Structure 1
Amino acid sequence: MLDIPVAYGPRQPLPLRTPYVVGESTGSFVNRYAHSNGMELHEFLDRVGQGKASEDPARVGKYPQVTEMYVNAAGLRYLAVLTDQPAAFLQRMLPSLAEQHLLPGTDEAVWKWPWEPSEGHLVPCCTLCAQDRGVREPAWLMSADSWRVCPRHHSWTDDSRSDDPAFVDLAELPETVWAHRQRQRLRRWFGPAGEELFADAFQVAVHWWTTMPHATRWVQRARSAGLEVRAMRAAPLVLYPEAASLALAMLRFEHDGKRDPAGRARWLASVQHLMEGWEVDFGVGKQPLLAWLERHSHAAAPAPAHSPRRCRLRLAMGHDRIAARTGSLDRRSCLPWQLGMAAAEL
């Protein structure tokens, strides 16, 4: 449907290409495409269809770093013509062009820039990754979470749009890079269940950080990163290693399958030992662990024997009733609290 010629709109591509970045926001990409062809963003938008934007070109030029651009099916066809690429290729490169994100629609090409992305966060692309792709200006990625780690170049970026610092060099925080790789392994080995276990562990660590923010290791990591100790943007960065280690402990609990009171007590004691090594108060921090055990106290139905290895781990029924299969870590967890809550709300 998307490759059928249309009666209106652009009939030939713009003369100059721009490099693609997998996972980039549509707004970031079209902004760069406009600039590579000697246009400002507001001029390019006139070629993509109808939409409402500020009358101030300078303000329009700031859209890609604060929100996302969405198009309908006809607008996607226009973009395919302008970039000289199949619509399916654009949808693979730019997640906000996926079918579920297309605007409803009429045969008239339409674009919109809502106040904020309908799903996900705009996070700056790692500068070195962008340069490796031949990108010479800032690019923004669509991220399920409000932050990203680049394990290749050991950097961390988030959606705070702060220049203090704009990104964190993780050279002094190798444990955070290790933690990210552990998360990737869980996802690779166990698919959605691996990511959801990490989400649960991360939410427990969020609870710890909220109620015990001055744990020595978290303070030291925040300072090494050049971030304020109690700044909310510091939390994901400083908690990552403990969340990854706790996720591995949760994985062992799920694999052992010993969910009776004695099995749960043994697991809790093993986590207490970890927390003592981290100098995190178990007496204060056991509440979210008990909440997790409650939701994971009844095993899920086993996966069929012929299932791929990455699909054989089934999490407990109490988890599956609550956790989402996609989205940010707080959505993929069975635990209810969110980063930014006050300790009294947890």
Structure 2
Amino acid sequence: MTASRVEERPVLDIPVVYGPRQPLPLLAPHLVGESTGSFVNRLAHHNGMELHEFLDRVGQGKASEDPERVGKYPQYTEMYVNAEGLCYLAVLTDQPETFLQRTLPSLAEQHLLPGTGEAVWRWPWEPSDGHLVRCCSLCAQDRGVGEPAWLMSPDSWRVCPRHLRWTDDSRSDAPAFIELAELPETVPAHRQRQRLRRWFGPAGEELFADAFQIAVHWWTSMPDTTLWVQRARSAGLEARAMRVAPLVVYPEAAALALTMLRFEQAGERDLAGRARWLAGVQQLMDRWEVDFGAGKQPLLTWLERHSQAAVPALPHSPGRRRLTLALGHNRIATRTGSLDRRSCLPWQLGMAAPEL
């Protein structure tokens, strides 16, 4: 009897697939604008894991060996991944990569880490763009999120006009948020800022940025101004704490932005027109009991940079009013990012008064 012949099958070149192949059992609700680190932290907890246990599922990276320290990462800095890491997250969450990139800002193409071949994640000391701001807990609860979450924000604070709360990037939980019921001027000021952005697009936001930068200059030079001290006390914060500055100067910044808008719309940029505008702002400052003599210089700097009109170069968007800011402003300010970047005024919150 002859031995049966075994047919040899060709060896197929099938690539080995590494990483997760199916979603996690429990999927965490999404918060639009959330930081990647905050989201994966919640995703881990949702599935009965701590963050340090979960990270191995998202690829390779370096983290502290102290689980307690790793657990604090989402509050302190942002997590970044490369393209393969994004793919892993898409599998684990059962969501398309494009959806995750729309929902979590730090997964956008410009923030993905370089390198291919394996999934990689990093936790740098500081976010590469923006600030980690505590999400309003009531907004989070409406989305089914019951633990602290952090959003990526261009600025170091956020206003929730729905729940009348102010949150910021403070790493302290004392307090985690500020109730705005005791600060009745803040929400109308925030809505005025939103109207400027809605009416005039980036130009409206840049005007508010200029006004805010001037208010920051005033607060840095005159932190003991009575109305700002009173607001700080109402918020339960130290009057001279840097954390308090954006909150307490918000109403004056919004009011000043309106006067800047009128100046730009009037187009009277000669010496007489600038003098009239400055006199009008002085009246406001007198009403606020902000020392005009001590706060005049940033106003003069702004006038200098807005003394020459710019020729409109781009068509305005439908539904928005045309507003082209001055030539000196456009040479310095950017159209995106934090308020200090959108402004033509160079100083930053946290500078000492002599540096301004």
Q: TM-score, normalised by structure 2?
A: 0.93
Matched, 1:175 2:173: no
Q: Deviations over 1:124-157 (max 9, x none)?
A: 1011111111101000011111111111111111
Contact kept in structure 2, 1:71 and 1:103, CA below 8 Å: yes
Bigger-Rg structure (1/2): 2
> Distance between the aligned counterparts of 1:305 and 1:321, measured in 2?
19
- Cα distance, 1:7 vs. partner? 2.8
Does the C-alpha gap of structure 1 residues 319 and 34 become closer, same or farther in structure 2, counting only changes over 3 Å?
same
Matched, 1:319 2:329: yes
Opposite residue 225 of structure 2, the aligned amino acid is A
Identify the residue that residue 147 of structure 1 maps to in structure 2: 157
Contact kept in structure 2, 1:304 and 1:312, CA below 8 Å: no
- Cα distance, 1:306 vs. partner? 6.5
Contact kept in structure 2, 1:303 and 1:313, CA below 8 Å: no
Does the C-alpha gap of structure 1 residues 307 and 225 become closer, same or farther in structure 2, counting only changes over 3 Å?
closer
> Distance between the aligned counterparts of 1:136 and 1:262, measured in 2?
58
> Distance between the aligned counterparts of 2:192 and 2:227, measured in 1?
19
- Cα distance, 1:107 vs. partner? 2.6
Unpaired runs of 5+ residues, structure 1, are none
Opposite residue 320 of structure 1, the aligned amino acid is N
Contact kept in structure 2, 1:21 and 1:130, CA below 8 Å: yes
Matched, 1:68 2:74: no
**Matched-pair identity in %:** 83
Q: Deviations over 1:142-185 (max 9, x none)?
A: 11111111111111111122233221100011101111111111
Q: Which runs of 4+ in 1 moved over 6 A?
A: none
Report the secondary structure of 1:103's partner residue. coil
Does the C-alpha gap of structure 1 residues 306 and 219 become closer, same or farther in structure 2, counting only changes over 3 Å?
closer
Which of 284, 287, 290 is the equivalent residue of 1:280? 290
> Distance between the aligned counterparts of 2:114 and 2:323, measured in 1?
37
Q: How do 1:1-346 residues align onto structure 2 when only pairs under 5 Å count?
A: 7-303=17-313, 307-310=317-320, 312-346=322-356
Contact kept in structure 2, 1:190 and 1:309, CA below 8 Å: no
Report the secondary structure of 2:196's partner residue. helix
Q: Deviations over 1:226-269 (max 9, x none)?
A: 01111111100000000000001101111111111111111111
> Distance between the aligned counterparts of 1:41 and 1:269, measured in 2?
57
Report the secondary structure of 2:25's partner residue. coil
Q: How many aligned residue pairs are there?
A: 342
Report the secondary structure of 1:148's partner residue. strand
Q: TM-score, normalised by structure 1?
A: 0.96
Report the secondary structure of 1:43's partner residue. helix
Contact kept in structure 2, 1:144 and 1:328, CA below 8 Å: yes
> Distance between the aligned counterparts of 1:169 and 1:183, measured in 2?
19
Opposite residue 258 of structure 2, the aligned amino acid is L
Contact kept in structure 2, 1:303 and 1:311, CA below 8 Å: no
